[in-house]
Amino acid sequence: MRLSKLFKNAPTVNVSGLCFDSRKVKPDNVYFCLPGLTFDGHDFIDDAIKNGAICIVHSREIEKKQNGVIYIKVSDVNAAMNQCARLFYGRPSDKMTMFGITGTNGKSTIANIIRSIMNEVEPCGYIGTIAIEYGDVKLMPDLTTPDALFLQSKLADMVNAGMKACALEVSSHGLSQGRVDGINFNVAVFTNFTYDHLDFHGTLENYFDAKCILFKDRVRSDGVSILNIDDKKFEALKSISKAPVISYGIDHEADYRAINIQMDSNSTHFDLVYQGKAYSVMTNLVATYNIYNLLAAIAALHESGVSMDTILSACSHLPQVEGRLEQIKEGQSFNVIVDFAHTPDGMEKMMQFGRMITPDNSDLIAVFGSAGKRDVAKRKVFGELADIYCDYVILTEDDPRDEDPKEIADMIKEGIKNTANIYIEDRYEAIRQAIENAKENDTILLLGKGDEAFIYREEGRAPWIGDDKAARECIQKYRK
């Protein structure tokens, strides 16, 4: 592409790509000097030029300019990069129905439900924590919401592969770093707002402000904002939404409301009330929070023109979202559930569900840890929740990074006053002991890692068999 297509008054030289990391710059790339949390991209201009950058986009004054290199000064490099990414990749998001899903918990679940039902109407891609998926392509992501350059390139790949829609998880980090600034969403979905990510945002107010960006700035004014009316942030989001608001919920009157909910450990039935009419919904999703997730997805799809018949007939056989309330069934006489719960709210919801499916004379056993180098305050809260709901706790490693997993476990333990607990550092061994010792009708919750097939240790990302595979293997070996 010609540089002049990206910047007014720029020379008409050809550029081969866009890059914000000097180490990854290729010949004839444009290098964007981003201010980061640790470094400032301006400090790596020489490296970028050595690697072949033909153009430097910067905001700081540059004293020594090199011949043959084009320098473009802008007031906000991040904003310029987002705009260029959109143009370089041919405005891909304008060619698809874009669903953006944000909130503390439920983003992956809702995005995957949207994708799977949308696929029955027209091809839909997914970008989020679990994968980047479109057609037969499935890639493992590094981030929930990728950086703007990678994101726009993947959206372009989706358009080229024939996708007509995309369900994108929009994290608060992604919003505050402008990773989705080049996207105008047709549908913006809000799940819920509880405690998370204080290590990054500092305060809950900042965390919420980041979430607001999707509804204030990034949704199209002719689009729609789908909001959870039972969440305490409903009114605040409604008041700032650029697009008309559609509500969903259980406890309050809503545009899409679930009533008469009946649930067991394998399925849920409820009546969906929409515009005064009740539709009977049968779904293989369980746990009350998943009814919220399903309502959000139903509202998002229906408001984008998918028929209620198509949506409701798909609800009964939704594919298992990997590592989200995944029930491990190997013919054993007790329940084993793998779940990605890693916030206090997620933990509590899972433990409540575990309690609901466990008979009074049986035990609820939880196996979990907490991530290293991430929010420390939630550790004790996890312990307090386990103390309320569980009969036995096995504390183990999560993603310790360069922290000592035992010290993390001790911080969780500060919240456990009455419930019996042990510490088994090795996650596989912790799962093995839980499974080997479970009695008939007990429930074992394996929490925190979900579908992840890696553990972040001191030396980086190390392979991990995965909670689901570990559990299946242990049931086969020790309970057959």
Ligand X SMILES: Nc1ncnc2c1ncn2[C@@H]1O[C@H](COP(=O)(O)OP(=O)(O)OP(=O)(O)O)[C@@H](O)[C@H]1O
Q: What residue numbers does the annotated binding site cover?
A: 22, 103-109, 144-145, 171, 177, 179
Element (H, E) at 444: strand 443-447
Contacting ligand X (CB under 6 A), which of 129, 268, 283, 335?
Answer: 129
| Minimum CB–partner distance for residue 74 and ligand UAG (Å) | 15
CA torsion angle for 467, 475, 113, 216 (degrees, to 10)?
-30
Residue nearest to ligand UAG (CB): 36
Q: Cβ closer to ligand UAG: 175 or 474?
A: 175
Contacting ligand X (CB under 6 A), which of 147, 345, 442, 452?
Answer: 345
**Spatial contact of 1 and 14, defined as CB atoms under 8 Å apart:** yes
Q: In this structure, what are the phi and psi dihedrals at residue 390, rounded to the nearest 5 degrees?
A: -100, 160
Stretch that binds ligand X, among 104-112, 243-251, 359-367, 379-387 (CB under 6 A): 104-112
Q: Which of residues 140-169 bind ligand X (CB under 6 A)?
A: 144, 169
C-beta atoms surrounding 330 within 10 Å: 14
For 48, the 3-state DSSP assignment is helix
335 binds, among ligand X, ligand UAG, none (CB under 5 to 8 A by kind): none
Q: Which of residues 160-219 bind ligand X (CB under 6 A)?
A: 169, 191-192
Q: Which of residues 169-198 bind ligand UAG (CB under 6 A)?
A: 171, 173-174
Using rule CB under 6 A, residue 292 touches ligand UAG = no
Q: Cβ closer to ligand X: 346 or 466?
A: 346
Q: Which of residues 41-70 bind ligand UAG (CB under 6 A)?
A: 41, 44
Q: Pairing between strand 277-283 and 268-274?
A: antiparallel
433 binds, among ligand X, ligand UAG, none (CB under 5 to 8 A by kind): none
Contacting ligand X (CB under 6 A), which of 59, 93, 105, 283?
Answer: 105
Q: Cβ closer to ligand UAG: 146 or 249?
A: 146
**Spatial contact of 210 and 104, defined as CB atoms under 8 Å apart:** no
- Helices and strands, number each (H, E), in the chain: 16, 23
Residue spans of beta strands (DSSP E) within 130-243: 132-134, 137-139, 165-169, 185-190, 219-228
Element (H, E) at 17: strand 17-19
Contacting ligand UAG (CB under 6 A), which of 82, 145, 332, 335?
Answer: 145
How far is 208 from 103, CA to CA, in rounded Å?
A: 9
Q: Which two tokens stand for residue 235?
A: 């009114």
108 binds, among ligand X, ligand UAG, none (CB under 5 to 8 A by kind): ligand X
Stretch that binds ligand UAG, among 37-45, 250-258, 289-297, 424-432 (CB under 6 A): 37-45
Using rule CB under 6 A, residue 9 touches ligand UAG = no
Burial pattern 369-381, b for ≥16 Cβ within 10 A else e, equals bbbbebbeebbbb
Using rule CB under 6 A, residue 350 touches ligand X = yes
37 binds, among ligand UAG, ligand X, none (CB under 5 to 8 A by kind): ligand UAG
| Minimum CB–partner distance for residue 372 and ligand X (Å) | 16
Q: Which of residues 199-238 bind ligand UAG (CB under 6 A)?
A: 200
**Spatial contact of 179 and 148, defined as CB atoms under 8 Å apart:** yes
| Cα Rg of the chain (Å, integer) | 24
> What separation in angstroms does the CA of 263 have from each of 25, 112, 157, 269, 282?
54, 21, 40, 6, 10
In sequence order, what are the beta bridge partners of 365?
A: 392, 444
Q: Which residues bind to ligand UAG, rule: CB under 6 A?
A: 20-23, 34, 36-39, 41, 44, 143-145, 147, 171, 173-174, 200
- Enumerate binding residues for ligand X (CB under 6 A): 105-109, 129, 144, 169, 191-192, 289, 292-293, 324, 339-341, 345-346, 349-350, 450
